[in-house]
Structure 1
Amino acid sequence: MHQKRRSNAFPFVQVRTDSRWVTFPAAVPSRRSSEDSLSGVPRTGDQPLVEGLRHGQPSYHRASLALLFAGLASFNAMYCTQALMPELSTDLHASPAQSALTVSATTGILALAILPASILSERLGRGRVIVFSALAATIVGQLLAFAPSLGWLVAGRGLQGLLLSGVPATAMAWLAQEIHPKDLPRAMGLYVAGNSVGGLIGRLLPSGVLQFAGWRTALNVDMALALTFSIVLAVILPKERRFRPKALHLRSEIATMVRQWRDPRLAGLFGVGFIFMGVFVSLYNFLGYRLTGRFGMPPSLAGLVFLLYLFGTLASARGGRMAAQRGRGVAILVGTVLCVVGLPVAASGSLWMMLPGVAAFTYGFFTVHAVASGWVGALAPTSRGEASGMYLTCYYLGSSILGYLSGHVFHAAGWTALMMWLLGLVLVGCALAGIVARSARRLATA
């Protein structure tokens, strides 16, 4: 394993695994740090800091499990209403677009709050931000089931998004700060697994409860589990040993972000993240309406469609390997082609045609995201933190904005029109990906 770091206000660490570089947010205790070796004991001035946690130590296992529960809690809460949208429309007399606001409000506010949460954690401590974020968001989640109207529910979900932002903004940085570099990939993998499983639970559990009770009970049950995850996180998360508050240089960070938007390759990848995440969330937002309406499935059975997310787990790993072997340009274009092929098939009136189309799109989307997110860091070697943060902001803004707009298309013109709308967006995303790939190839041969 090879490892390299840089120090800035949003430090990141790159770890070489599975023949590819994986970029994680890192924490550098001070801008004066002069030693970043594999010993895991950076030196500030004349005083060495304590060594990072090593695999086999009790605190290491507590830290890894704590961040696993952070992922389970936060991503469960983030998507807890997606599988409930058809029931929300029926019970609250809301259109699909209005019901989609229960997802869009969360991801939109979260997108805007990620960078401020990162900055705040540099002063207050990442552990405090993670614990407060998870506990506060899941406590608010317990109150959502008592919302008297859709407006109150959407407002509560927006508040959840604001509170949740502290986890994705700081969790990986906490791990990179506290864990020894040699043992970081193992701990990071557990956190990423928690994100994936948490998101899946947040969709499957509420839809399963709908078989026995209404959406309010389903939401309460799911949020009770998420709150339990948060409490476990708060109890077992070790105290930070290597954190030191940092001076913030907001003006220089803003200047760096402006420069990144002037780079057509980075701007193109930000657009790719915005479009493809927006299309992905739109597809799954309204898939439940199609299954319960056209095919007459009960909500509990329709919720099982979220198991198709498992194709994404496979695609993320294979997409990284393809990028390493064939190049990022080839890998991202393969992903976009799968998305283009999958959407027309998903428009089919046959269930047995539609589901493979959704699966193909899901595989393609996760391939695109895996490649694009890594490519952003590679294109900004001196400002990976800012670039990755901006990509994540655009990614969640796409979920919020396009997820809401797609609801109006579906409500006005139906499923086939929605698929054509999403296909048009994907073609724009393909064009952006092609421009980025061509630009990168031209610079490589210049």
Structure 2
Amino acid sequence: MATSGRVHIRRGTAEYRRATFALFCAGFATFALLYCVQPLLPLLAAHFSVSAATSALALSFTTLSLALCLLVSGALAESWGRKPVMAAALGVASLLGLACAAVDSWEPLLVLRALLGLALSGLPALAMAYVGEEFDPESLPAAMGLYIGGTALGGLLGRLLAGLLGDLGGWPLALGGVASLGLLALVLFVWLLPPSRHFRAQRLSFGGVLGNFATHLGNPRLRVLFLLGFLLMGSFVALFNYIGFRLAGEPFGLSSTVIGSLFMVYLAGIFSAGWAGRLVPRFGARRVLLGGVGLMLAGIALCATAWLASITLGLGVFTLGFFAAHAVASGQVGHYAQGAKAQASALYLCAYYLGSSLVGYVGGYVWEHAGWWPLVAVLAGLLVIAGVAARRLPG
């Protein structure tokens, strides 16, 4: 394998294990740094004397800057390469995470969180493009599933650790602890990930960048996938943003640690991301996507009840469906993109994180002015639209 630059990484080899674990670490750190604030939102709202929707800006600012900057970083990556940019992005983001723990004013915290999103914009699209370029076609769905599984584990441990540390030492200790995990993930990523073999640098041209974006946006199948990214992630983040407020209030009255422990349901996402990737060759992407959306709808119906056991089960089913659908949709972007795969991935992730920012914030407005059940109804409506869109993909 080392003698030929044309050979792709194949499943079952030592190189495959190293590469997938490195990407797993990158996905882990990305989601941990992004979403560690989610179980801390009630603490932030109380500490800074802001509303629930305003506290959610600590997450929405990060995902919004990430979404917008992805379009730039995805274009630059076609000229600059893959691994060096990803490593730099992860390192800077981890340092900004440490800086967030050192401030005690709301506006500087939001600025640092926005800068953290900007830094991380150099990682997700490049990781997806790396998988699409370096793994052979038969290994690609499973490799993408493992990367998405890393994001699930990052979301889980980031939230669990943040909830625990938040109760022990407040939100600054929580943010600093998660940022330290990001630095550890960086070391493993740099050590394990093989250099790109199939990346071919393009001359940076403004016209070429716009042409690539126009080509991708003109592809009807990619447009469906971009819409799915927006709807799926928007629904996912809105539910997890405000479930903490729901469970912290009456009749539940749960602590940050207990609320954070409910994110153990992310273990279902680690399983379902890889599982869904392996089902695609057998059943087709459309069927697996529709199955994932159906599970999300079932989960959100359970979350509409007033029983803690039912809500916990609903979060698990919802998470199972989300990561299955996201793993398949993100893998299909590389399949349908004709060249400039990093830019295609950037457009998907831009829509994905715009959904996180916009639906995540608007969900807070619905929660504050209408309550829990109207919020659940809005999210269910978005998922119905996602299911209708997924039916337009080839079987």
Q: Same fold (TM over 0.5)?
A: yes
* Structure whose alpha-carbon radius of gyration is higher: 1
Within 2, Cα distance between the matches of 1:134 and 1:301?
A: 29
1:96 partnered with 2:52: yes
Q: Which runs of 5+ in 1 are unaligned?
A: 1-37, 44-49, 442-446
1:198 partnered with 2:161: no
Q: In the alignment, what sits opposite 1:316?
A: 273
1:208-227 equivalence runs, <5 A: 208-227=164-183
How much has 1:428 moved relative to structure 2?
2.1
Larger RCO, structure (CA 8 Å, separation 6 or more): 2
Alignment match of 1:412 (pick from 362, 369, 379): 369
Contact 2:142 2:274 in 1 (8 A): no
Q: What amino acid does structure 1 have at the position aligned with 2:348?
A: Y
How much has 1:197 moved relative to structure 2?
2.4
Q: In the alignment, what sits opposite 1:391?
A: 348
Within 2, Cα distance between the matches of 1:305 and 1:336?
A: 21
Alignment match of 2:121 (pick from 137, 153, 165): 165
How much has 1:367 moved relative to structure 2?
2.7
1:424 partnered with 2:375: no
Q: In the alignment, what sits opposite 2:63?
A: 107
Within 2, Cα distance between the matches of 1:191 and 1:366?
A: 11
Within 2, Cα distance between the matches of 1:190 and 1:404?
A: 29
Within 2, Cα distance between the matches of 1:334 and 1:178?
A: 29
1:126-275 equivalence runs, <5 A: 126-171=82-127, 173=129, 192-231=148-187, 233=189, 236=191, 240=195, 245-275=201-231
TM (normalized to structure 2)? 0.85
1:80 partnered with 2:43: no
Q: Which runs of 5+ in 2 are unaligned?
A: none
User: Could you list the per-position Cα deviations for residues 207-253 of structure 1 after superposition, in whole angstroms to 9, with x for gaps in the alignment?
Assistant: 0113322112222222223234335555x368958577542344244
Alignment match of 1:350 (pick from 292, 304, 307): 307
Q: In the alignment, what sits opposite 2:258?
A: 301
TM (normalized to structure 1)? 0.76
Contact 1:346 1:354 in 2 (8 A): yes
The CA RMSD over aligned residues, in Å, is 3.4
How much has 1:285 moved relative to structure 2?
0.9
User: Could you list the per-position Cα deviations for residues 260-306 of structure 1 after superposition, in whole angstroms to 9, with x for gaps in the alignment?
Assistant: 33444332221111011100011011111111113111110111111
How much has 1:184 moved relative to structure 2?
8.4
Change (3 A) 1:385 1:286: same
Determine helix, strand or coil for the equivalent of 1:210. helix
How much has 1:351 moved relative to structure 2?
1.0
How much has 1:175 moved relative to structure 2?
6.9
How much has 1:193 moved relative to structure 2?
4.7
Q: What amino acid does structure 1 have at the position aligned with 2:4?
A: V
Change (3 A) 1:381 1:237: same
How much has 1:348 moved relative to structure 2?
0.8
Contact 2:161 2:174 in 1 (8 A): yes
User: Could you list the per-position Cα deviations for residues 404-436 of structure 1 after superposition, in whole angstroms to 9, with x for gaps in the alignment?
Assistant: 1111111122211211121122222222223x1
Aligned length: 392
How much has 1:56 moved relative to structure 2?
5.5
Within 1, Cα distance between the matches of 2:103 and 2:358?
A: 23
Q: In the alignment, what sits opposite 1:27?
A: none
Q: Name the one with the larger strand percent.
A: 1
Q: What amino acid does structure 2 have at the position aligned with 1:366?
A: F
Residue identity (%): 38
Determine helix, strand or coil for the equivalent of 1:203. helix
Determine helix, strand or coil for the equivalent of 1:374. helix
Within 2, Cα distance between the matches of 1:185 and 1:417?
A: 37
Q: What amino acid does structure 2 have at the position aligned with 1:397?
A: L
Q: Name the one with the larger helix percent.
A: 2
Could you tell which deviates more after superposition, 319-328 or 271-280? Answer: 319-328
Q: What amino acid does structure 2 have at the position aligned with 1:402?
A: V
Contact 2:60 2:356 in 1 (8 A): yes
Within 2, Cα distance between the matches of 1:75 and 1:299?
A: 19
Could you tell which deviates more after superposition, 126-135 or 75-84? Answer: 126-135
User: Could you list the per-position Cα deviations for residues 307-341 of structure 1 after superposition, in whole angstroms to 9, with x for gaps in the alignment?
Assistant: 11122223223433444333333322222222223
How much has 1:104 moved relative to structure 2?
1.3
Within 2, Cα distance between the matches of 1:382 and 1:269?
A: 17
Q: What amino acid does structure 1 have at the position aligned with 2:351?
A: C
Change (3 A) 1:40 1:416: farther
